[in-house]
Every structure is written in C-alpha cells, then in structure tokens.
Chains A and B, each alone.
Chain A
Amino acid sequence: MIKVEGLYYSYSNDDNFAVKDVSFEVAEGEIFGFLGPSGAGKSTTQGILTGLLQLQKGNASVAGYDIKNISRKMFNKIGMSFEQSNVYSKMTAKENLSFYSKLFDVETRDPIELINLVGLGGKENIKTGEFSKGMKHRLTFARSMINNPSMWFLDEPTTGLDPAIAADIKDIIKEHNNKGVTVFLTTHNMFIADELCDRVAFIVDGVIKLIDSPKILKLQYGKKLVEVEYVQDGNVKKETFSTIMQKDKDLLNQIIADKEILTMHTKEATLEEIFIKVTGRGLV
C-alpha cells in the first residue's frame, strides 16, 4: 500500500535533512507505526506521503499512486487525521463534515453517523469554535473517515484525549483495520503503538533505526524471567525465576501448585525501553 525508497527531505533545501534515506514498505491491511520523539521526521515523512510536502529526493508511492506526480484521485483513497485539529470554527460539526464530504469523488459517509461514532452525538449543530480541544480533535479524526479511506494516515490520534475516549478511538482504528483499512500511525506514544501496530519503525534524527513487529522486538530485547508474588506462612514473598533454567521452571511450577499467587509478570521489555536501547534516545 505504501512503498518508500531512499527518501530525503530538507526544509532549507540544503544538506540539513529532516529525513535521510528513509525506506520502508507497508502492506495492505497492516497497521504500521512510525515512532519517534518530536522532530524525528515522523510528520515530515507523513507530509510527503500525503502530498503536503513536495517530494525532493527518493521514490514513494501510496495506494498505487506515484507521489512524484500526485493525482487528486489518490485522495479519494486516503484519509488523514492531523495532530493539530483543523476544523472551521465558524461552522458547526455537521457543516464541517458535510462540506468535506462534497470534496471527494467517491461515496462518503453520513456526517451524523461519524459524529456519533466519535462520541460527539448531540453536538452536531454547535459551532466548533465552542468545542473543547479534545472535541475538535475527535471531529478532525471523524473527518478523516468521511471518504471511507483504504489508506488511513493518523498523526497522534489520541493526543490530548482522556483515557476513555482514547480507548474508543483505538477501538475505531482496530475495527476499521479489521475491515481491511491500512493504517499509517505516527505517534510518540509507545503504549498505543504496542497495542495497535502490526509493525513499527523507530525513527530518530530523520533516520529509521529499526523496523519490526512489537512482539518480536519484545522477545528479542526482553529478559526471559518471571516475577512472582505469593503467600507463604501468612507472609507475602516475591521471587524471580528464569523461564529457561529447568530448576527455576520446576520451582515455579511447585509454587503455582502449592501457594496462593498474588501477582505474576514476565519481565519482557516495553517498546519504550526497546526504543531507548536501540536509539539511545528518549521519546520526549
């Protein structure tokens, strides 16, 4: 669905590149996470792929369209949710979505259905200038679905949302992905990436450091240990066992069989820990 080869981009048109030799592919139906700290080159890459920034060097295609000569028809297939909400503040939520629905050549979704989907039901006739930041963000997210995109670009889709609404947004993304929508997710939130993405790319200083699935990364970089809290003679005990050594495995089995287990965790690494280990950089 997306193919990128040797992508470079400089805002100052010199050798000071915001993205350098970036190459990757996203398969149809995949959720691909583009992870990195602020200024890493995530939004620049996404900007090039959505035509907001002009391709300077390299090759890229999205949904079968060459980014060098973007056809407006490409936008019938893609949806874009911006990190910064950008809706007409003097228009109502419904007017905003109705207007954008007329800018595509394909069948579009009912604005009210989308407004309800993102939890803004009953607010459709309120001018968005009166909306909170989170409500505007949800409307921006809803707008990105107006043309039933098969390629969905999401830039920090849950930023600034409370946990309950963020969970709803994640469910919507999963639901659409299950229907075959390909998702290019740009975020610095590793928990969301871990939960949603089939594969992730770590990008720092405009360079991709690693691309793999979160599961494989965690196995590769995690410790093969289990931490157990259990009750023995009325006291809470905490022990760590290797999942490789036979002696530890036997002991763990014995404790599970004989004792009351309070907690049990595998000591796998989080995506954030892996990111720091791989790139040597934090995510802020």
Chain B
Amino acid sequence: MKLLSSFKKELILASRGFYFYVELIFALVILAVLLFAIPQNFSGTSTEYLYFNLPQEGKEIFKNIILEDDLDTKSEMVEIKAGGKTFNAELIVTDESEIYIVNSEEAVRMLAETHRNIGAVLELDDNNQLHYKYYLQGYESTRLKNLISILFNESTDVLKERIENQDVRPLSTGYEPLNDRENTIPPLVAFSGSLMGMFIMASYIFLDKKEGVIKAYAVTASSVWQYLMSKIFVVLLTSVVSGIIITMPVMGFSINYGLLLLLLLTTGFFASSLGLLIASFYNDLVKAFGVIYLILILMMVPSIAYFIPGWDPVWIKIIPSYPMLQGFKEIILPNGDIAYPLIASAGFLTAGIVLFAITNIRFKKTLSV
C-alpha cells in the first residue's frame, strides 16, 4: 500500500516534470528517424565515371557490354555538373552502380574530384593494347586497390572460373539476417529505453535532494527502499513505453513481446539502480555529470562492436550494454536464440538487486540533518 502510494506520487511528479516527457519525445524522434530516415537496406550502389578514349567501334563494344546489365537495357542522355562546368553524359544504371559515360578525360577527372567517386579512362597504348587509368579518392580500401591491380594481370575468365569452383559451405543454416532498419533497433532500445533510465533516475533523485523530501520520507513509517523502488517503477514504465514506441511500428507483431518486456524491465531495473547508486554519492546533477557521462561513454563502446562484427574483443563482453544489445537483437531476429535474452535478463535482475541493496544501505547511511 505504501509502495503503491509512493508510486502514484512519483507518477504525479513525473507527469508534472520535464524528464518524463524527454524520454518519450526522444523515443518518438528515434521512431521518426527509423521510419523516414533509415532505409530498410542501405544502398550499395556506386557511381562511376567512364571515358572510352577509343575508336568509335571500341566505344560501342564496351558500352554494349555494360548496357547488358542496365535495368532496362537503355542508356539515358543526361547533363552533369562539376567545377562550374556542365558535361554531357550517357547514364547506364545497373543493380550495383550508376555509370556515367562522358566525352573527355577532363570530365572524368573533374567529376571524380567534385563528386568524390571513382573515375576511369580506357585507351589504347602505343602497342594498341588496352590501357586503364583510374581516378581514385585515396581512401579506398587496400583490398579494392589490390583487386584493381590484379584484375588486369589475370584473365577475367580465370578469375571467374576460380570463384565458381570455390566450395562454399554454410556452417549455420536457418539464419535470416535483419534488414538495416531492424538492425538499428537494438542499440536504440538499449540506449533510449534502458540506459537513459540511469540518467533520468539520477535526475529524479537530485530533484528530491534539492527539495529535501528524502528526509521527510525517512521519518515516516515507510522504508527508504519503498521510496527508491517507487522511483524505479516510474523509470521502468517510461523505459517500457519508449522501447515499445521504437520497436512495435517497425517490427509489428513478428517478435516475442513478452521476452522484449522482460529484457526491458530487467535492463531498466539494472540501469536505474546504477543511477540510484551514482546519485547516492553526489548532491546535485552537475557534480555527478562527469561520472554519468563516463559510464554512458563506456556503455556506448559495445555498439561499435555491434555495427562492426569483425571487432568483438573479449573484454567488451563484460560491459553491461553488450549483453543488452545482443539480447535485444536475439529478440528481434526471426530465428533468434531465446535462451540469450532469458540468461541476460536473469543476469541484469541479479546485478540490479545487488546494486539496489547497496544503494538502499547508502541512502540510509548518507541521510543528513
């Protein structure tokens, strides 16, 4: 009853405060970005500029080869600007690239420089052999540069044959990857739904410390843990609401919302207990900001590993946001591992209980007159 009364009071305070709406508005902004700014799949289309410094016959041969890959097997005459000049070009659009065939090497060089894309000039050398000149940007990967180097030292037929003869055996089957939009959800839910709770919780406590109401609560027949837990309930509520706001419009009903709710609640409990513990050491947000900022930065490191699967060192796995991200990912994966979010939830619940117990002792010990 006392806990319920405290929770109702916290809801009233939160609804009349600033932070409650910040989290929800933030979730709506993230949703808008997800739906309208992040495509389902990032485009892998590249733009290239070509100039065939060849006899007309040679030009036609190369152009016709490229045209075979054009989406409608027709080229389009366009004008393209670079360096204050307008160049005429023939545009061929394939699945993988937009190729502009221009009429001079100057056009290739200026377009490549202005639009920061790759350009190439095909011409005949003194021995009437094909000569390739590339205009690169300098930041291309070594792999691409090496590929370009060997491409013209090996017969393309040999390369094609070798690729086709490679024996590729998938070791993991039944795995359906997420599209780019879906793949962005776990870090957004983890940070706006769960980790934001740490900051919001600390803010709530500092507001109370400023008003001195903790002391007034401490001389009632209600326990300090009920006061702290009622605040956690409010943060959990906003975490769940913002997590659902971000997830549901994108994922629909294709995921296990029970599991999502469980992970949102346990990670939110952990994060808000951490926020409480931090708040127990300081009297105002300004003094605590440095620590909160450092923890948030640390928590963001696993998101780098999340987006760069090739970089996944062991030490990063002990940062709590790592299992958060992976847990949310497993929940939204079509064939995700249910055990992972369950184990992660158990871990966050346990860690949250330990942090909460320490915080409760600290709050009782650090009350002042």
B219 CB to closest chain A CB (Å) equals 4
Contact B220 A47 (CB under 8 A): no
Within 25-54 of A, Cβ neighbours of B (below 8 Å) are at 43-44, 46-47, 50-54
A140 to B211: give the CA distance in the assembly, Å. Answer: 12
> Contacts A43-B369, A52-B368 hold; do A95 and B12 have CB atoms under 8 A apart?
yes
> Contacts A54-B365, A99-B5 hold; do A82 and B216 have CB atoms under 8 A apart?
yes
Contact B369 A86 (CB under 8 A): no
Contact B213 A90 (CB under 8 A): no
A82 to B369: give the CA distance in the assembly, Å. Answer: 9
Residue-by-residue, is A54-80 near B (CB-CB < 8 Å gives 1, otherwise 0)? 100000000000000000110110101
A52 to B369: give the CA distance in the assembly, Å. Answer: 7
A95 to B221: give the CA distance in the assembly, Å. Answer: 18
> CB-CB < 8 A to A256: which residues of B?
none
Contact A53 B369 (CB under 8 A): yes
Contact A90 B16 (CB under 8 A): yes
A160 CB to closest chain B CB (Å) equals 15
A24 at the interface (CB under 8 A from B): no
> Contacts A52-B219, A104-B221 hold; do A86 and B212 have CB atoms under 8 A apart?
yes
B365 CB to closest chain A CB (Å) equals 6
B13 at the interface (CB under 8 A from A): yes
B367 at the interface (CB under 8 A from A): yes
Contact B2 A102 (CB under 8 A): yes
> CB-CB < 8 A to B357: which residues of A?
none
A282 to B9: give the CA distance in the assembly, Å. Answer: 44
> CB-CB < 8 A to A90: which residues of B?
12-13, 16-17
> CB-CB < 8 A to A84: which residues of B?
212
B99 CB to closest chain A CB (Å) equals 63
B14 CB to closest chain A CB (Å) equals 9
Contact B218 A52 (CB under 8 A): yes
B317 CB to closest chain A CB (Å) equals 39
> Contacts A44-B369, A52-B367, A54-B365 hold; do A91 and B221 have CB atoms under 8 A apart?
no
A90 to B20: give the CA distance in the assembly, Å. Answer: 14
Contact of B221 among A46, A76, A140 (CB under 8 A): A76
Contact B216 A73 (CB under 8 A): no
A210 at the interface (CB under 8 A from B): no
> CB-CB < 8 A to A76: which residues of B?
221
Residue-by-residue, is A266-279 near B (CB-CB < 8 Å gives 1, otherwise 0)? 00000000000000
Contact A53 B219 (CB under 8 A): no
> CB-CB < 8 A to B223: which residues of A?
72
Contact B221 A75 (CB under 8 A): yes
Within 349-369 of B, Cβ neighbours of A (below 8 Å) are at 364-365, 367-369
Contact B215 A82 (CB under 8 A): yes
How many A-B pairs with Cβ below 8 Å? 82
A88 at the interface (CB under 8 A from B): yes
Chain A, Cβ-Cβ closest to B223: A72
> Contacts A43-B369, A46-B369, A102-B2 hold; do A87 and B221 have CB atoms under 8 A apart?
no
Contact B13 A91 (CB under 8 A): yes
Within 52-86 of B, Cβ neighbours of A (below 8 Å) are at none
Query: Can you give 20 contacting A-B residue pairs, CB < 8 Å?
Result: A51-B218, A51-B219, A52-B367, A52-B369, A54-B364, A72-B222, A75-B221, A76-B221, A78-B219, A82-B212, A84-B212, A86-B212, A86-B213, A86-B216, A90-B12, A91-B12, A99-B6, A100-B216, A103-B221, A104-B221
A176 CB to closest chain B CB (Å) equals 17
Q: Which of B12, B16, B220 has its CB near the most chain A CB atoms (within 10 A)?
A: B220
Q: What are the 4 tightest A-B residue pairs by CB atom distance, in nearest-first order?
A: A86-B212, A47-B369, A103-B220, A102-B5
B168 at the interface (CB under 8 A from A): no
Contact B1 A102 (CB under 8 A): yes
> CB-CB < 8 A to A75: which residues of B?
219-221
A103 to B216: give the CA distance in the assembly, Å. Answer: 11
A90 to B367: give the CA distance in the assembly, Å. Answer: 22
Contact of A88 among B13, B218, B365 (CB under 8 A): B13
B217 at the interface (CB under 8 A from A): yes
Contact A103 B13 (CB under 8 A): no
A143 at the interface (CB under 8 A from B): yes
Residue-by-residue, is B216-235 near A (CB-CB < 8 Å gives 1, otherwise 0)? 11111111000000000000
A102 to B221: give the CA distance in the assembly, Å. Answer: 9
A19 CB to closest chain B CB (Å) equals 11
Within 98-147 of B, Cβ neighbours of A (below 8 Å) are at none
A227 at the interface (CB under 8 A from B): no
Contact B219 A50 (CB under 8 A): yes
A105 to B218: give the CA distance in the assembly, Å. Answer: 15
> Contacts A90-B17, A103-B220 hold; do A52 and B215 have CB atoms under 8 A apart?
yes
> CB-CB < 8 A to A46: which residues of B?
369
A54 to B83: give the CA distance in the assembly, Å. Answer: 76
> Contacts A86-B212, A103-B222, A105-B221 hold; do A53 and B367 have CB atoms under 8 A apart?
yes
Chain B, Cβ-Cβ closest to A102: B5
A16 at the interface (CB under 8 A from B): no
A91 CB to closest chain B CB (Å) equals 6
Contact A86 B211 (CB under 8 A): yes
Residue-by-residue, is A183-204 near B (CB-CB < 8 Å gives 1, otherwise 0)? 0000000000000000000000
Chain B, Cβ-Cβ closest to A50: B219
List 5 additional contacts besides A102-B1, A103-B222; criterion CB under 8 Å: A46-B369, A47-B368, A53-B369, A80-B219, A84-B212
Contact A87 B213 (CB under 8 A): yes
A80 to B367: give the CA distance in the assembly, Å. Answer: 15
Contact B369 A88 (CB under 8 A): no
Residue-by-residue, is B274-287 near A (CB-CB < 8 Å gives 1, otherwise 0)? 00000000000000
Chain B, Cβ-Cβ closest to A89: B211
Chain A, Cβ-Cβ closest to B367: A52
Contact of A143 among B216, B221, B368 (CB under 8 A): B216
A218 to B211: give the CA distance in the assembly, Å. Answer: 40
A100 to B220: give the CA distance in the assembly, Å. Answer: 8
